[in-house]
Chains A and B, each alone.
Chain A
Amino acid sequence: MLKVENIKKTYDATMAVDQVSFEVNEGEILSLTGESGCGKSTLLRIIGGLETADSGSIFLEGQNISSWKPERRKFGFVFQNLSLFPHLTVEKNIYFAMSKEQRNSKRLSELLGMTGMLGYEKRYPHELSGGQQQRVALARALAIDPHILILDEPFSSLDELVKEKIRREVFDLLKELNITTIMVSHQAFDSFLIADKLVVMRQGKILQAGGPIEIYQNPTSQYVSNFFGASVILNGTNQEEKAHTPFGDIVLPNLPDSFSLCIRPENIAVKNEHDFDISGIVKEKLFKGPHDVLTIQSASSDDEFSLETERCEHGIGDTIFLKVPNDKILVFK
Chain B
Amino acid sequence: MELRFRSLSGWKLLGAITVLILLLPIIFVISNSLSIEAESWYQSIPTLLPLYIQNASILLVGICSVALITGISTAWLVTVFDFPFRKHFEWILILPLSIPTFINAIAYVGLTDYAGPIRILLRWLGTDYYMDVMDHEGAILIMGLVLYPYVYVAARSAFLLQSASLIDVSRSLGQSLTKTFFKVSMPLSWPIIFSGLILVIMEVLNDYGVVQYFGIPTFTTGIFRAWLALGDLQTAILLSLIILVFIIILVGLDALVQHGRKTSNENEDQVLARIPFKHKWLAFTICLIPVFFGFIVPVAQMVWWSVLASTVEVWLQSLRFMGNTAILGTISGLVVLLFAIILSYSNRLSNKHWSSKAFSKLSMLGYAIPGAVIGIGIVTLIVWINPNWIYSGIIALVFGYSARFFAVGYGQTDAGFDKIPLQFDDAASSLGKNSMKRLIRIHLPIMKPVLIGAFIMVFVDIAKELPLTLILRPFNFETLATNAFQYAKDEMAPKSASSSLLVIFVSSVPVYFLNKILK
Contact = CB atoms under 8 A, between A and B. Distances in A.
A70 interface: yes
B175 A96 contact: yes
B266 interface: yes
A3 interface: no
B174 A80 contact: no
A86 interface: yes
Nearest to B260: A87
A256 to B, nearest CB: 42
B265 interface: yes
Interface string A46-74: 00111110000000000000000111011
A97 B173 CA distance: 5
B262 A77 contact: no
A81 B266 contact: yes
A124 interface: yes
A163 interface: no
Given A50-B273, A81-B163, A81-B165, A86 B265 contact: yes
Given A45-B273, A96-B183, A83 B264 contact: yes
Nearest to B175: A71
A250 to B, nearest CB: 47
Interface string B69-109: 00000000000000000000000000000000000000000
A87 B187 contact: yes
Interface string B157-192: 000000101101111111110000001100110000
Contact of A70 (B171, B183, B187, B188): B171
Nearest to B263: A86
A70 B275 CA distance: 11
Contacts of A73: 172
Contact of B173 (A69, A81, A140): A140
A83 B169 contact: yes
A74 B263 CA distance: 27
Contacts of A52: 276
A144 interface: yes
Given A126-B262, A126-B265, A83 B168 contact: yes
Given A45-B273, A83-B163, A87-B262, A77 B172 contact: yes
Max chain A C-beta neighbours (<10 A), residue from B183, B263, B265: B265
A144 to B, nearest CB: 6
Nearest to B180: A71
Interface residues of B, number: 25
B183 A125 contact: no
Contact of A50 (B168, B176, B183): B168
A85 B269 CA distance: 15
A124 B273 contact: no
Contact of A77 (B169, B176, B187, B273): B169
B188 A71 contact: no
A321 interface: no
Interface string A239-250: 000000000000
A41 B168 CA distance: 13
A49 B273 CA distance: 11
Given A79-B269, A83-B165, 4 more contacts: A69-B171, A71-B173, A83-B163, A96-B173
> Which 4 A-B residue pairings sit nearest by Cβ, starting from the closest?
A97-B173, A81-B266, A77-B172, A86-B262
9 contacts: A76-B172, A77-B169, A81-B265, A83-B163, A83-B165, A83-B166, A85-B184, A85-B188, A141-B173
